[in-house]
Amino acid sequence: MSLDYRFCVAPMMKKTDRHFRYLSRQFSKKAILYTEMIHANAILKGNPDKLLQFKDIEHPVALQLGGCEPSQLAEAAEIGASYGYDEINLNVGCPSKKVRSGNFGVFLMKDIKLLSSCLRAMKKNLSIPLTVKCRIGVDEYEGDEFLNNFISSLSSEGIDTFFIHARKAISGLDTKRNRSIPPLKYESVYRVKENHPDLKIIINGGIDEMIKCQNHLSYVDGVMLGRKVYADPTFLLEVDQDIYEENNANCFDIGMKAYMEYILALENPKDVNRAITHLVQVIKKISFSKETRKQLLLNVRNNNKDLKNIFTDFQEDLLLKSQSQNP
């Protein structure tokens, strides 16, 4: 299956789990969804079912892996593919301290030889696409010449799809500041596409409006949004129509009802709590009065309250709100 990368939801640690992906799919049928980054060792030494299982509704969905040991990454990629993911993505963009100490993520951009070995090993037995998510540079490894050579080297290993965060990474900054302090250089990503028209280039970083998505698509093959989508999952309601020009009749009320039914069907209390955490993101964006919103959140978090009754009241509030807006 050829994937349409025009709009992608970025992998985000402790956010894009299977519950959030289920919620996202209620609002967009077309966006490509990504898992949190999962280290290869976690799959090899942990519980693959717990880490990798997902629902069919999530397709198209990709698994993002982290690591720097070729044989481990290759085995983890094979296991991931066996679960039915549409793509395997290697994280070459995360700048966290943990990633730095393990010499993976964005720090692989400094060791093209090791990175190439990882990709060759992973690609060997994969029948689904293998892609790379990187930055425009890291520390002293920066500039158009470096980035162009980096992309050329990986494309020679058979990688034809790149997700490029348009900021460099700086070792001395924490993850949060690495998302804001290094300046965005979208033109650097545009030039990669100009120099490699045969490759799929998806741009990432600081994109927070539909008009910006559409503008970027004049230069590259796709956009990838992370924090904007997590802060406001309802943003996805615009995607199918405005990006893919398809009317999938996605509806906020129906989507919310489906997600609440999904939560009610969960058996593990930890899963319920994580799923509710994502629901809270939506509630925050709804223009209820502050008091109504606060009471709803308190009720949801109160273990002594029946979730089914809370959700029924929530749906009634949504209906009243809808009627007041459309008399």
Summarize pLDDT for 20-66 with one digit per residue, the tens: 999 999 999 999 999 999 999 999 999 999 999 999 999 999 999 99
Distance CA(77)–CA(87), nearest Å, equals: 9
Residue 2 has a pLDDT of 85
Ordered by start, the domain boundaries in the chain are 7-242, 252-325
- The C-alpha atoms of residue 299 and residue 307 are separated, in whole angstroms, by 8
Dist CA 150 CA 143 (whole Å)? 11
Whole-number average pLDDT of the chain: 91
User: What CATH homologous superfamily does 7-242 map to?
Assistant: Aldolase class I (3.20.20.70)
Residue position matching structure tokens 């509710």: 276
**Catalytic: which of 8, 68, 94, 213?**
94
Distance CA 322, CA 73 (A): 49
Positions in the chain short of pLDDT 70: 1, 287-290, 292-297, 300-305, 314-327
pLDDT of amino acid 297: 66
Catalytic residue check, 213: no
CA distance linking residue 198 with residue 162, whole number of Å: 12
Using CA atoms, how far apart are residues 125 and 109, in angstroms rounded to an integer?
Answer: 23
Q: What pTM did the predictor assign?
A: 0.91
Contact 313, 300 (CB under 8 A): no
